[in-house]
Structure 1
Amino acid sequence: MSTSKPDTATAEADCLRGIGSQRLWSRLMTLGEIGALADGGVNRQALSEAEIAAWQYLTGLAAQGTGRPIEVSTDAAGNLFLTLPGRYRDLPPVLLGSHLDSQPAGGRFDGAYGVLSALEVLLTRAERGLESERDLIAVGWMNEEGSRFAPGMMGSQAFAGAAGIDEIRTVCDADGISVGAALDHLHTVFAGLPRRALGFPVAAYFELHIEQGPLLEAAGTNIGVVSGIQGKKTWRIEIDGESGHAGTLAMRDRRDPLAAFARVAVALDNELGHADEQVKFTIGRVVAEPNAPSVVPRKLTFSIDLRHPDNAMLTRLGMQVEALCSANARPCSVRAVPLVDAPSNGFDPQLGRLIETAASAFGYSSMPILSAAGHDARYLAQVTPSAMIFIPCREGISHSPAEWSTPEQVGAGADVLYATLEAWLQTQNQERHDAS
């Protein structure tokens, strides 16, 4: 296929115009009102009515844009795709995005910033009359957080083929609602949207995000060039005991899963949580049944989140989980159910260099950084060259109503995303021209 040689000077000038922060910031604050909590936080969980409202807001913004129209579609996993068409629709598209769902008491930036910034890049290109050879797609992945349905990152896993959609649909939330039922409701609300194939070819993926850690702020650095994501393993642990009356059942006769949990939790924390300075060990959810004040529980379920940047160390620690639980739960029985097994991964070095160059062109400082938190980019990196861009967040706080950034930081990250995409498109155009 023959293509005309790109106008390098014009393209470079477009890169450095950036997109500006005012409109993006305003829309980010508006999106934060969907699922807003009284303390300034956000509760917008996966496939909830609040996330459906967020979809409606995003698709409304896409429809308001000037220039070429943005096409809206979805897939069987409930991922949202906002597409700016390119000249050659048969070429694999570029994806930019993150997720719209939040923790039950989350903030306004985590995930939402990446999706809105991706859409803003597309709208800005359309308004400036810039046309790419391939489609550009802003994506909102389904259930990244994993707070309503566990594990998280279901949409990106299904897209990348790391998990099957049939298996994902069977997962239920605390109220017994399945992912399948919630997806069917979402697709009923958006019945007019075209349905994409699950897992179509992608040329590259870019994800912009707050750091969710303190390193950029502490260093006074504008942009983090993410080198990769540390590994993560999660489990659901079920301890079965025997229910009884709190006032009549003798202590010596009890099979109390809550008492067993206390022993198990201490053993896990001692053996795993203090293995070295890099390990991250968390028990994040504990549910006792029947959870009544005068009843010895019959069952207790809790979660384990174990992370480490070294895959060998993560594996070694993970192999101890079941044995530690069994040894300390007696006389109760225990079952360890693995949920997530995600090794550490790296991102594309060439894309990382483009991010560094883009930041420098705007006068923003940058530094390499390893992501301590998981992101959808982990799974996209398995199927396409991928990269992440971080901006600072105040005191490194995330998954909290106190999560915050500034208009200037938000604008800087979006500028770098825009310029990195433009530089990547120029490189691809040049390669196609040289090969023609």
Structure 2
Amino acid sequence: MSGTTRREALMPDSERIAADLRELSSFTESAEPGWSRRVFSEPYRAARGFVEQRMRGAGLDTHVDAAGNIVGRLAGRRQTLPALMTGSHTDTVHAGGRFDGMVGVLGAIEVARRLRETGTELERDLYVVDFLGEEANPFGLSCMGSRAIAGSLSRDHLDRQDETGLRLGDAMSRFGVAPEHALEMAWSPGSLQGYVELHIEQGPVLERGSKQIGVVTAIAGIERLLASFSGRADHAGTMPMAGRQDALVAAASAVLTIEREACGAPIHGVSTTGRIESSPGSFNIVPDEARIWAEMRSIDASWLQGAKRRVAERIAAEASDRGVDAVLEWLNDSETVSATTSVQDRIAGAADDLGFCWEAMPSGAGHDAAHIAAIAPMGMIFVPSAGGRSHVPEEFTDVADIARGVHLLAASLVDLDRGN
């Protein structure tokens, strides 16, 4: 069978993919808006059971590792060769959508099905992974499972606490994960021939450019910030404006500083303040305490580091001018990571062979792929997001676009396996 014919034979079953997406998206936190399925929730536990069932049904030898990743293995002819890996995640943000992450997991399972149904045997093992806890969460640590596989999960990470004081390590234990073992389960560099992740774009570039596929060039680095402001409480009706030490106004000024910094980025930079709190929270009292949670992202590592320094200096100076103390804590999430050129070339070549219109593009979102890149050549495939919407209930990708991405994922993995 020629390379082109083999690729065409791997065309996925779009109706089966759509049915799997409908069923997986039914596991939600019923009291929450959108398709909420946050890490460690009971709906997340139930959804993982569904994923395990689907993996086994696809012929994958399936288990849950020490970090809580669901790992399915399709044996190749020569198991001494470095393996291939694909996958994504099935947890969501609060009030999130039903495609982010899920497309990559269910698409990978469909690839395994089609390989078996067409009798396409790989030379090397293929691992399909549903990574634990990719999304941001109250512990301030995303990509828990992929960090463990990459060897970057640390004891300090396990000691992080949520708002109630619960340790991440204890939350993992309650969920049935073995956190101490998760620190020691890293895969060896060189054990993987390559990693390819299928994902929705989560932005508007492909749709606006009428492109079918995005070949990812780099994944943005993320710097997350918790800034705390301490001022002085006073009577809101009697303390003159010039005499106030208003913590909330200092926090509001910091929000604008963070926004202005990203607006001046020369290549790619974005910033978001996603949460703000103040106390005592009364109309008639000048706030004495305030906190903001913010982040900055860019594929330009040098700009990101410079922005981090500039933002810290400006926030501190502006708060001081108001008589407010500012304490900044940086919660580094991930570094800027480039996709491996050879893997990008494989994906682009397979897209050309299949007749798909593609565009090279960076990702402004974080992904498990950024961590797996530490131990394996890495690439990503994007499919369009309707209206560029993501992390909202309106998130949508047409099943035809998803099927096209799954087809390209299969072709890319076969090419990586056989060196064609």
Tell me the TM-score normalized by structure 2. 0.89
Amino acid in the other structure paired with 1:97: G
The alignment status of 1:131 with 2:121, answered yes or no, reads yes
The structural deviation recorded for 1:358 is 1.9
Q: Any idea what the Cα deviations from partners look like across 1:307-332, whole Å, max 9, x if unmatched?
A: 23322222221111221121112322
The structural deviation recorded for 1:337 is 1.0
Q: Counterparts of 2:262 and 2:385 in 1: how far apart (Å)?
A: 29
The structural deviation recorded for 1:420 is 0.8
Q: Which of 118, 141, 159 is 1:151 aligned to?
A: 141
Q: Which of 114, 120, 131 is 1:141 aligned to?
A: 131
Q: Are the aligned partners of 1:75 and 1:198 in contact in 2 as well (CA < 8 Å)?
A: no
Q: 1:33-432 to 2 correspondence within 5 Å?
A: 33-35=26-28, 41-65=34-58, 68-76=59-67, 78-164=68-154, 166-187=155-176, 197-200=185-188, 201-243=191-233, 254-276=244-266, 278-291=268-281, 296-330=286-320, 331-340=323-332, 342-427=334-419
The structural deviation recorded for 1:187 is 1.6
Quickly say closer, same or farther: Cα 1:275–1:84, change in 2 above 3 A. closer
Q: Counterparts of 2:126 and 2:48 in 1: how far apart (Å)?
A: 18
Q: Counterparts of 1:14 and 1:271 in 2: how far apart (Å)?
A: 49
Q: Counterparts of 2:46 and 2:281 in 1: how far apart (Å)?
A: 33
Q: Counterparts of 2:325 and 2:183 in 1: how far apart (Å)?
A: 45
Q: Are the aligned partners of 2:278 and 2:289 in contact in 1 as well (CA < 8 Å)?
A: yes
Q: Are the aligned partners of 1:281 and 1:305 in contact in 2 as well (CA < 8 Å)?
A: yes
Q: Are the aligned partners of 2:142 and 2:333 in contact in 1 as well (CA < 8 Å)?
A: no
The structural deviation recorded for 1:217 is 0.7
Amino acid in the other structure paired with 2:166: I
The structural deviation recorded for 1:254 is 4.9
Q: Counterparts of 2:149 and 2:339 in 1: how far apart (Å)?
A: 18
Q: Counterparts of 1:37 and 1:29 in 2: how far apart (Å)?
A: 16
Secondary structure (helix, strand or coil) at the match of 1:126 reads helix
Q: Counterparts of 1:197 and 1:268 in 2: how far apart (Å)?
A: 38
Note the aligned Cα RMSD (angstroms). 2.8
Amino acid in the other structure paired with 1:22: E
The structural deviation recorded for 1:64 is 2.9
The structural deviation recorded for 1:177 is 3.0
Tell me the TM-score normalized by structure 1. 0.86
The structural deviation recorded for 1:402 is 1.1
Amino acid in the other structure paired with 1:185: R
Q: Are the aligned partners of 1:46 and 1:148 in contact in 2 as well (CA < 8 Å)?
A: no
The equivalent of 1:14 in structure 2 is 6
Q: Counterparts of 2:105 and 2:21 in 1: how far apart (Å)?
A: 10
Kindly tell me the number of residue pairs found equivalent between the two proteins.
Answer: 413
Q: Counterparts of 1:376 and 1:91 in 2: how far apart (Å)?
A: 23
Secondary structure (helix, strand or coil) at the match of 1:187 reads coil
The structural deviation recorded for 1:135 is 2.1
Q: Counterparts of 2:234 and 2:143 in 1: how far apart (Å)?
A: 39
Of the structure 1 ranges 377-386 and 247-256, higher mean CA displacement relative to structure 2 is found in 247-256
Give 5+ residue unaligned stretches, structure 2. Answer: none
Q: Counterparts of 2:224 and 2:277 in 1: how far apart (Å)?
A: 16
The structural deviation recorded for 1:207 is 0.5
Q: Are the aligned partners of 1:74 and 1:196 in contact in 2 as well (CA < 8 Å)?
A: no
Q: Counterparts of 1:141 and 1:186 in 2: how far apart (Å)?
A: 14
Q: Counterparts of 1:61 and 1:195 in 2: how far apart (Å)?
A: 28
Q: Counterparts of 2:346 and 2:170 in 1: how far apart (Å)?
A: 42
Quickly say closer, same or farther: Cα 1:291–1:91, change in 2 above 3 A. farther
Q: Are the aligned partners of 2:369 and 2:378 in contact in 1 as well (CA < 8 Å)?
A: yes
The structural deviation recorded for 1:83 is 1.8
Quickly say closer, same or farther: Cα 1:131–1:278, change in 2 above 3 A. closer
Q: Any idea what the Cα deviations from partners look like across 1:384-429, whole Å, max 9, x if unmatched?
A: 10000001111111111111111100100000001111111121xx
Q: Any idea what the Cα deviations from partners look like across 1:136-172, whole Å, max 9, x if unmatched?
A: 11112222221333132232233223341x2221222
Q: Counterparts of 2:169 and 2:286 in 1: how far apart (Å)?
A: 34
Of all paired residues, the percent bearing the same amino acid is 31
